[in-house]
Structure 1
Amino acid sequence: MKKILITGITGNVGSEIADSLKNEYNIIGTSRNEGIVNPFETITCDLSESDQVNQLFLEHPDIEYVIHCAALAHNKGTDLSEGAFIKNNLIPTKNLVNAVNSLEKIKSFIYISSISVYGEQHNKTLYLETDECLPQSPYAKTKLQSEQYLKKHAQFHYSALRLAPVYSSKFLLNVDRRIRIRDFNYLVGNGDTKLSLCSMETILRVVKHELRKEKSSSEVFNVADKNPLTYKYLKKTYGSKKITVFIPRIAVVLMNQINKKTIKNQFIHENTLKLLEDKIYPADKIFKEMDQVF
């Protein structure tokens, strides 16, 4: 079988991708953590160290596909400084690109990016691949910088997939924090504000399409479910059975404004805007391409 490398194979996205491809590909993965039980061959590798990345490809010269999932997320880990995001997000991408450039067998390189590269822009509802990116957080900045490095230096076909907030039956963090506070549900206003989310099923369908696609020009795609969901729907579908607290919109507006003038916490800024304004990331570009194939 064709060999595929999945970085961050023990993460939420990487593990699901690996499981979905196990019958079609010979899978190896990387993780920065030792001792994690994983059904796939997993190499402990610090992707921020170029010599370790180069050694990985020397030991596995038959790798034909790369899916780069490994990254430091928004609020994971104890060190969330800008330097930590550069080390864990940007430098690994550079090292992988530089290593793959010297190989002839790589048929496809998929980079897992994020819709956070657009930034949370006030009074902006739709975010398209052609829109200007205005990332604010260190996470978002390093995701965009990684995309830019790929565009400038990659000598191979690649796809950059900008994922909307991800969810699955096993992973509901991105849903829960938008409708729950501890054991209570909450809704801002009437709950009709809409948000694009990205199910794991959508990710897997897109990844499989990109792997099977003949080499072509490298592109960037939004990846999200076809229909954005209201917070009211999310609460009804995924909320707890306990009481729902209704929060006036003005309270969240004030929270956003106070934050902007005082602590200037980016996480609070981004998430209050999501609760107040529709944030839709159409994936029409990739779905149109997939419909033409299938």
Structure 2
Amino acid sequence: MKKIIITGATGLIGKKLSDELHKSGYHIIVFSRDSRRAKDILKKDYEYIEWDYGKPENWIEKISDSDAVIHLAGINLFAKRWNDHFKKEIITSRRDTTRSLADAIKNSSNKPKVFVSASGVGYYGDGGDKILTEDSPAGNDFLAEVCKVWESEAAEVENVGVRRVSIRTGIVLSPEDGALKRMLLPFKLFIGGPLGNGKQWFPWIHIDDIVGVYRHAIENEKLSGAVNAAAPNICTMNEFAKTLGKVLNRPSLFPVPGFALKLAIGEAGDVVLMGQRVSVNKLLSSGYKFKFENLEEALNDLLM
């Protein structure tokens, strides 16, 4: 039975991923800053470890005893309105936790075979209509800087021969949380529509597929480095809103102007208004088979 450490196991991706791996026979070790709360949330027979990333001596032995480490932890980008203090929290929550895990892996007696760390398509900034591969340059905005730091810290494990995969995640579609959940209410009230001018690319991915990508990253030894994770058939925001309206049998006639979005949620609105036309050829070439390539089929599965 392979042992997998997961941080951020109580989040949207973490809950579904840990459950999927557990059902497949993996031994799940949940690292959490509040292990009791994590156990209450997950309600599964996992192993729960109190994870104070400032005190690695309390959990480093578990690193040495694991086959893989999946790092999903990081403060929610939209938990608060962005200001200098919260932006510092966003970056340190990712940099410091990743550095702590990477250091523990480097110092462990029996190193895990792979370290899979979250990242995001925000790495590229606003890509316009350019097709973005994993070799495309990083953007210059705040979120791009966060992703660069995140990936740089994760890549440290490569210095001791541990395979590293940084999943540049697109917009995960789930009715439980995230962008889709926030867009549902306006559509149900017949006032739904695209965000911004609607022309920005919308790199969506079904929750089942992002879980599948993480599992693929663990099990496919040839996959390494940064990996874009979005459906092959990404679309513009206009196309997404139109398809969502069709699935819900609601109109998509009421766009939310960019200035209104930024008034509502501040600088974080830029994240929604930027687009990334990402290529997923690297993921496809590695052998990953998507469950949902078509947006309408994905939305029907999630909402019907």
Structure 1 and Structure 2 fold alike (TM over 0.5): yes
2:124 to 95, 98, 118: 118
CA deviation after TM superposition for structure 1 residue 94, in Å: 0.4
Other-structure match for 2:9 = 9
Mapping of 1:170-189 within 5 angstroms? Answer: 170-171=176-177, 173-177=178-182, 181=186, 183=189, 184-187=191-194
Q: Provide TM-score, normalisation by structure 2.
A: 0.77
Q: Structure 1 residues 195, 287: CA separation in 2 closer, same or farther (over 3 Å shift)?
A: same
Other-structure match for 1:198 = 205
Matches of 1:10 and 1:266 in 2, distance apart? 27
Other-structure match for 1:96 = 101
Q: Provide TM-score, normalisation by structure 1.
A: 0.79
Other-structure match for 2:155 = 151
Q: Percent identity?
A: 22
CA deviation after TM superposition for structure 1 residue 235, in Å: 3.6
Matches of 2:91 and 2:288 in 1, distance apart? 37
Q: Structure 1 residues 54, 159: CA separation in 2 closer, same or farther (over 3 Å shift)?
A: farther
Which deviates the most, 78-87 or 127-136? 78-87
The answer to whether 1:287 aligns with 2:284 is yes
Aligned residues: 274
CA deviation after TM superposition for structure 1 residue 62, in Å: 1.7
Deviations 1:117-156 (A, max 9, x none): 11124x444222111101422x542321121123345421
Matches of 1:64 and 1:241 in 2, distance apart? 47
CA deviation after TM superposition for structure 1 residue 175, in Å: 2.5
Q: Structure 1 residues 113, 190: CA separation in 2 closer, same or farther (over 3 Å shift)?
A: closer
Q: Counterpart of 2:116 in 1: which secondary structure?
A: strand
1:65 to 56, 68, 79: 68
Other-structure match for 1:74 = 77
CA deviation after TM superposition for structure 1 residue 83, in Å: 2.5
Which deviates the most, 18-27 or 174-183? 174-183
Q: Counterpart of 1:116 in 2: which secondary structure?
A: helix
Matches of 1:78 and 1:247 in 2, distance apart? 22
User: 1:5 touches 1:63 (CA, 8 Å); kept in 2?
Assistant: yes
The answer to whether 1:42 aligns with 2:22 is no
User: 2:117 touches 2:165 (CA, 8 Å); kept in 1?
Assistant: yes
Other-structure match for 2:267 = 266
CA deviation after TM superposition for structure 1 residue 219, in Å: 1.4
CA deviation after TM superposition for structure 1 residue 238, in Å: 3.9
User: 1:179 touches 1:231 (CA, 8 Å); kept in 2?
Assistant: no
Other-structure match for 1:107 = 113
Deviations 1:41-60 (A, max 9, x none): 3323233x1x2x34212256
Structure 1: segments with no counterpart, 5+ residues: none
Other-structure match for 1:246 = 254
Other-structure match for 2:58 = 55
Q: Structure 1 residues 132, 180: CA separation in 2 closer, same or farther (over 3 Å shift)?
A: farther
Deviations 1:103-125 (A, max 9, x none): 2331111011111111124x444
The answer to whether 1:25 aligns with 2:26 is yes
Q: Counterpart of 1:246 in 2: which secondary structure?
A: coil
Which deviates the most, 146-155 or 231-240? 231-240
CA deviation after TM superposition for structure 1 residue 223, in Å: 0.7
Deviations 1:241-284 (A, max 9, x none): 56644349xx54xx39x97xx9994322332344xxxx321111
Matches of 1:18 and 1:189 in 2, distance apart? 35
Q: Structure 1 residues 185, 126: CA separation in 2 closer, same or farther (over 3 Å shift)?
A: same
Which deviates the most, 237-246 or 106-115? 237-246
User: 1:187 touches 1:244 (CA, 8 Å); kept in 2?
Assistant: yes
Structure (1/2) with the larger helix percentage: 2
Which deviates the most, 78-87 or 60-69? 78-87
CA deviation after TM superposition for structure 1 residue 231, in Å: 4.0
CA deviation after TM superposition for structure 1 residue 12, in Å: 0.6
Q: Aligned-pair RMSD on alpha carbons? A: 3.3
User: 1:188 touches 1:246 (CA, 8 Å); kept in 2?
Assistant: no
Q: Structure 1 residues 43, 219: CA separation in 2 closer, same or farther (over 3 Å shift)?
A: same
